[in-house]
Chain A
Amino acid sequence: MENTVIDVEFQNVSKYYGKEKVVDEVNFRINRGEIFVLIGPSGCGKTTTLKMINQLVPHSSGQIFVRGKNVTELDPVELRRSIGYVIQHIGLLPHLTIRDNVNFVLQLQRVPQKKQRERANELIKMIGLPDSYLDRYPHEISGGEQQRVGVARALAADPEILLMDEPFGAVDPLTREQLQNELLRLQKTIKKTMVFVTHDMQEAFKVGNRIGIMRRGQLVTMGTAMDIVNAKDDFVRAFIGREAVFSALDTIPVFQAIIRDCPVIHEGDAIDPADPRFKDWENVFVINQNGHCLGYVSLTDFKAHEKVTTEKLREITSPCLPSDSLKKAIGEMLWGKRAWLPVVTKEGNFEGIVSFQSCVSILALDD
């Protein structure tokens, strides 16, 4: 990756409570604009690691840099104000209205009233709740809505970095999925650097650009969803479990598994089933001058040098987009009892095909 800015960096960071080492020599770098997920069994030190970033928990040794500055040289209050914090179990203050909760950080910084009002209206719109909610109290809205307000509150001062400590832990699975989708949609526009703690592997695969797995205070492995499912470490494999493969498939786009060398001919061309290009293939895809796919023909239907005619053209069914997930593609194949699917862009250009083989080989990559 070129031109990446490191927003958070840990260098050999440890945390002791008395003699007990809860975080053990942790090293990582989080790039600007990425969602970095910390996951592990309870007591693995993931939340402690998160809280060391804004110094809610001071570290015992090693160095922590936030946006290039050593946190021990910064005023902790100023540091915390510059970082958004979404608290476990929501943590909205029950004595304040939604407006005052959202504006809490701005009030701490004594931002003018007028600005606060504008920002509250902006944020409530951003999280998709009506303006009238601003004057309600936290107990008057649902858990899912409270979670959204929690995210809005963290965004109030427009921080570059967002810490999220199991932000969607306190809601039912359906709402959680919805909130995850909203977060990802939001992230497309706000492009914040997020450190996200969870114990839910599926959530990690879904929201994380990169995932770090912790165990007994140590960062065992770190990488993309694909790196994680391909990890050889026994603990990691046991921790993520078989189900994780499906979650990982959900995060990998089809374009990584496209077979691009499938045979293609142009509309109106003559076809020769003996053409060496068609060796190992049963079907040939027909495209027009604009690259649009008209359909495909089966080689067995043709004699040598026969012209491709519309009668013999078979329609391509259920094409997938390059941005679709592998999980979706595999599901489609299983559902339609097919061994492959054509991949067509939104503009209708033919990209190639995906097959079971090509999907599976992605996960079976040996290095």
Chain B
Amino acid sequence: MEKDHLWMSTWKYLASKSDFWISTLLSHVMIVVWASLIVIVLGVVLGILITRIKPIRGVVLGVAGLFYTIPILALMGLFIPLMGIGLKPALIALSMKGILPVIRNTYAGINQVSPKFKEAAIGMGANRAQLLIRTELPLAFPVIFAGIRTAVVMNFSMATYAVFIGAGAMGTIILVGMRTFNDGMLLAGTLIVAIATILLDRILGWIEKRIQKRFAL
């Protein structure tokens, strides 16, 4: 009886508050989109740089690894006294958490490009930029994309914590549900985040497979 009641109330919440949770989900998605863009651009650039400039490799990977290890709540806790609350610190915290897989995969992806292809490109007269853009990055793309997938999916689930730094998103529904003992709301929020994360991972995984097929790997 208790269980039926929980599912019923979850369903009721989803049906009656659809406007609210859909707009909350959209704001969640927007946070993830922005954080992912920062992570991809910065991560790929840093990943390329450390294949070219050896001395900074250890530092960059070390720092990104450190960000990756620190719990996101601790990161946010660090930002509140420094920059207050809001979207900005949330984006920064998410970017710091998600950048390691992109840097690491960009670096690994470029390094695993067979020397024969690099030599082919150089031998035909590619300059440094052309070698990178026309040969190394495209050939590393499947590996880079795998890193992006990891980062984006992680950002999506991590963005649930954004509520603790006042950036709202899906964490709001879960937190409010928890505080008001509204189990239906709590479960609805949890389900939406879980299903959306799994869906996102599946979609990106499908794209990843297509890319690998296209590159004949």
Contact = CB atoms under 8 A, between A and B. Distances in A.
Contacts of A85: 120, 123-124
A107 interface: yes
B125 A81 contact: yes
Given A56-B122, A107-B134, A94 B216 contact: yes
Interface in B96-153: 116-117, 119-127, 130, 134-135, 138-139, 141
Given A94-B139, A107-B134, A137-B216, A80 B116 contact: no
Interface string A131-170: 0000001110000000000000100000000010000000
A80 B138 contact: no
Interface residues of A, number: 29
Contacts of B123: 51, 54, 56, 80, 85, 87, 163
Given A94-B215, A94-B216, A87 B122 contact: no
Contacts of B127: 77, 108
Contact of B116 (A87, A104, A107, A163): A87
Contacts, number: 65
Contact of A108 (B117, B124, B141): B124
Nearest to A165: B123
Contact of A93 (B117, B125, B141): B117
A80 B216 contact: no
A76 B120 CA distance: 14
A139 B213 CA distance: 11
Interface string A72-95: 000001111110010111011111
Interface of B (DSSP majority class): helix
A56 B139 contact: no
A105 interface: yes
Given A56-B122, A80-B122, A95-B138, A88 B116 contact: yes
B117 A91 contact: yes
B125 A108 contact: yes
Contacts of B126: 77, 108
A93 B216 contact: no
Interface of A: 51, 54, 56, 77-82, 85, 87-89, 91-96, 104-105, 107-109, 137-139, 153, 163
29 contacts: A51-B123, A56-B122, A56-B123, A77-B125, A77-B126, A79-B125, A80-B122, A80-B123, A80-B124, A81-B125, A82-B125, A87-B116, A88-B116, A91-B117, A91-B120, A93-B117, A93-B121, A93-B138, A94-B117, A94-B139, A94-B215, A94-B216, A104-B121, A105-B124, A108-B126, A108-B127, A137-B216, A138-B216, A163-B123
Interface of B: 116-117, 119-127, 130, 134-135, 138-139, 141, 214-216
Given A91-B116, A163-B123, 9 more contacts: A54-B123, A81-B124, A82-B125, A85-B120, A85-B123, A87-B116, A91-B119, A92-B120, A94-B215
